[in-house]
Amino acid sequence: MQKITSFTVDHRNIDIGVYVSRIDNDITTYDLRTRKPNTGDVMDNASIHSVEHMFATVIRNSDLHDKIIYFGPMGCQTGFYLLVKDTENKKVLEQIKQTLEFIINYEGEMFGASEIECGNYKNLDIALAKKECAEYLKHIKHLTENDLKYK
């Protein structure tokens, strides 16, 4: 069986950051790595779920709204995947930072936090999303488009 692309990256060398994971035609998959892999430090489900609701909603309402294909968590609980169509890395990186800032400063209700909108709506917490986003932004605010490659 052929390995999938993400299994060919040496996870011992991945740090917290933003990486171009793969490019398929005009769609780029970004690895938004919020934790260093295999250290025992993983996100809990409520944090993952809360960031997913907030980040997906905000970025799909950004200037890149028509370019966003997908945003969702990694099963290993160390980050998220963001799939974007036909957009420069620099623009995507800036939008990631702006999206995090928006969530950190947001003063309202959690997006999609009702029984009608979500299959596990009681497992959402805006404070967890804000905390997770603030910690991640601290690690990536200095990154440029030249920093998006795995080591």
In order, the DSSP letters of the chain are -PPPGGGGS-GGG--SEEEEEEEETTEEEEEEE-S-TTSS----HHHHHHHHHHHHHHHTTSTTTTTEEEEEE-TTSSEEEEEEES--HHHHHHHHHHHHHHHHH--SPPTT-STTT-TTGGG--HHHHHHHHHHHHHHHTT--GGG-S--
Domains and CATH numbers, the chain: 5-140 (3.30.1360.80)
Residue ranges, the chain, pLDDT below 70:
none
pLDDT at 5: 82
pTM of the model: 0.96
